[in-house]
Structure 1
Amino acid sequence: IFNADIVKHIDFYKGSFPSRYEGRLSSVIDIKTKEGNMQEYHGAANLGLLTNSVMLEGPVVKDKVSFIASARRSWIDGLIGLLDKEASDFKYYLYDVNVKLNYRIDSTSRVYLSSYMGSDRFSLGISDENRPAFALNWGNKLISARWNKVYNSRVFQNSTLLFSNYSNLVQDGEVTGTEQFNRITDVGIDNDLTYQWNNNLQSFIGFRVNFTRFSAAASNFYSESVPDVETQKSVHLKFYSDNDISLSDKLKLKAGLHYTSFLVKNKTYHSFQPRTALFYDLNASSRFFAAYSFMAQFYHQISLSGISVPNEFRAPSNKDLPPEEAFIFELGYRHSFSSGGGVSIELYRKNFNNILMYRLDENYMPVDEAAPWPDRIISGKGYSEGLEIEYKQKLNWLTLQANYTLSKTMYSSAQINGGKLFKAPTDLRNQVTFMATANLGGRWSVSGVFNYTTGKSITVPQYTLIDIGDGLAGKNRLENFEGYEPEPNNYTLSDNYNLDLGAAYSKTYRSNRQGVLRFGINNLIGNPAPLFVNAEIEDNRFRIYETNSIKILPYIGYSFRF
Structure 2
Amino acid sequence: MPKRTFRFLAIFVLLCSVSSLIAQQKVTLSGYIKDADDGEALIGATVFVRETKSGSASNVYGFYSVTLPPGKYIIEFTYVGYQPIVKQVELIKNQRLNLEMAGESQQLEEVVISGERVDANVTSTEMSTNKLDIQTIRKLPAFLGEVDVLKSIQLLPGVSTVGEGAAGFNVRGGGVGQNLILLDEAPVYNSSHLFGFFSVFNPDAVKDTKLYKGAIPAQHGGRIASLLDVRTKEGNSKRFEANGGIGTVFSRLALEAPIVKDKSSFILAGRRSYIDILARPFLQDLGDVGLNFYDLTMKTNYDFDKNNRLYLSGYFGRDVFEFDENQGFNWGSKTASLRWNHVFNARLFSNFTAVYSKYDYQLEFGEDARDKFTWDSDVTNYMFKPEFTYFVNNYNEVSFGGSFIYYTFEPANAVGVSAGERIDFSLDKKYNLESAVYLSNKHELSDRFSAEYGLRYSMFRYLGPGVAYEYGDAEPGERKPMTGVKNYDRWETIQTYSNLEPRFSFKYQFNASSSIKGSYNRMSQYIHLVSNTTASNPLDVWVPSSNNLKPQIGDQFALGYFRNFGEGNDYEASVEVYTRLAKHQVDYIDGADILINEYLEGDLLSGDGRAYGLELYLKKNVGNLNGWVSYTLGRTELQVEGINDGKWYPTRYDQTHNLKVAAFYDLNERISLSGNFTFVTGTPTTFPTSRYVVQDILIPYISDEGRNNIRLESYHRLDLSLRLEGKKMKKGKERKNEDYWVFSFYNVYGRKNPFSIYFSQDEDRVMSGEAINTEATRVAIVGTIIPSISYNFKF
Q: Find the counterpart in structure 1 of residue 428 from structure 2.
A: 230
Structure scoring higher RCO (CA < 8 A, sep ≥ 6) equals 2
| 1:159 partner amino acid | F
* Cα displacement (A) at 1:337: 2.8
Render the CA deviation track for 1:200-243: whole Å, top value 9, x for unaligned: 11011111101110002145564731332320000111111121
Moved more, 543-552 or 516-525: 543-552
Distance 1:193 1:153, change over 3 A: same
Counterpart AA for 2:791: Y
The change in CA–CA distance for 1:536 and 1:376 in structure 2 (over 3 A counts) is: farther
Whether 1:146 aligns to 2:339 is yes
1:342 to 550, 557, 572: 572
TM-score normalised per structure 1: 0.89
Q: Which residue of 1 aligns with 2:239?
A: 40
- The CA RMSD over aligned residues, in Å, is 2.8
Task: Encode CA deviations 1:37-65: one digit per residue, 9 max, x unaligned.
Answer: 22211111211112211111111222332
Aligned-partner SS, 1:525: coil
Q: Is the aligned partner of 1:252 residue 2:450?
A: yes
Alpha-carbon separation, structure 1, partners of 2:697 and 2:658: 38
CA contact (8 A) 1:477 1:540 kept: no
Map 1:38-117; keep pairs closer than 5 Å: 38-78=237-277, 92-117=291-316
Distance change in 2, residues 1:281/1:503 (3 Å): same
Superposition pairs of residues 359-374 of structure 1, within 5 angstroms:
359-363=589-593, 372-374=599-601
Alignment of 1:123-522 (within 5 A): 135-170=328-363, 180-217=375-412, 218-220=414-416, 222=418, 224-265=422-463, 266-338=494-566, 339-363=569-593, 372-463=599-690, 480=700, 484=703, 486-507=705-726, 508=728, 510=734, 512-522=736-746
Tell me the equivalent position of 1:470. Answer: none
List runs of 5+ in structure 1 lacking aligned partners: 467-475
Paired residue type of 1:269: Y
Shift of the alpha carbon at 1:547? 5.6
Determine if contact 1:136/1:310 at 8 Å carries over to the other structure: no
1:394 positional shift: 2.9
Distance 1:109 1:528, change over 3 A: farther
Give the partner amino acid of 2:395. N
* Structure 1: distance between partners of 2:287 and 2:562: 50
Residue 553 in structure 1 maps to residue 783 in structure 2: no
Aligned residue pairs, count: 541
Given that 1:461 and 1:486 are in contact with CA atoms closer than 8 Å, whether structure 2 keeps it comes out as: no
Q: Distance in 1 between matches of 2:548 and 2:461?
A: 13
- Equivalents in 1 of 2:366, 2:709: separation in Å? 29
What is the alpha-carbon distance in structure 2 between the residues aligned to residue 277 and residue 227 of structure 1? Answer: 49
Which deviates more from structure 2 when the two are superposed, residues 260-269 or residues 135-144? 135-144
Code of the residue aligned with 1:260 in structure 2: it is S
> Is the 2:204–2:244 Cα contact (8 Å) retained in structure 1?
no
Q: CA deviation at 1:71?
A: 0.3
Q: Structure 2: give runs of 5+ residues left out of the alignment.
A: 1-198, 464-493, 763-771
**TM-score normalized by structure 2?**
0.64
Q: Distance in 1 between matches of 2:290 and 2:659?
A: 31
Residues 361, 479 of structure 1: alpha-carbon distance in 2 compared, 3 angstrom cutoff: same
CA distance in 2, matches of 1:505, 1:317: 52
* Contact kept? 1:455, 1:529, Cα under 8 Å: no
- Distance in 2, matches of 1:282 and 1:512, equals 48
Q: Deviations over 1:393-413 (max 9, x none)?
A: 134201121111111111011
Q: Shift of the alpha carbon at 1:156?
A: 0.4
Is the contact between residue 537 and residue 543 of structure 1 (CA under 8 Å) also seen in structure 2?
Answer: no
Is the contact made by 1:111 and 1:145 (CA closer than 8 Å) also made in structure 2?
yes
Whole-angstrom CA distance in 2 between matches of 1:353 and 1:66: 46
- Report the Cα distance in structure 2 between the residues aligned to 1:336 and 1:173, rounded to whole angstroms: 62
Taking structure 1 as reference, are residues 291 and 72 closer, same or farther at Cα in structure 2, changes over 3 Å only? same
Deviates more, 1:497-506 or 1:453-462: 453-462
**Partners in 1 of 2:283 and 2:756 — Cα distance?**
20
Q: 1:464 to 1:532 in 2, by over 3 A?
A: closer
Q: Which string of whole-angstrom CA distances, capped at 9 and with x for unpartnered residues, describes residues 41-96 of structure 1?
A: 11112111122111111112223321111001233445566899999998643221
Structure ranking higher in strand proportion: 1
Q: 1:412 to 1:255 in 2, by over 3 A?
A: same
State the shift of 1:179 in Å. 5.4
3-state SS of paired residue (1:192):
strand
1:86–1:287 CA distance, 2 compared to 1 (3 A): farther
**Cross-structure match for 2:111:** none
- SS at the partner of 1:360? coil
C-alpha contact 1:521 1:554 (8 A) present in aligned 2: yes
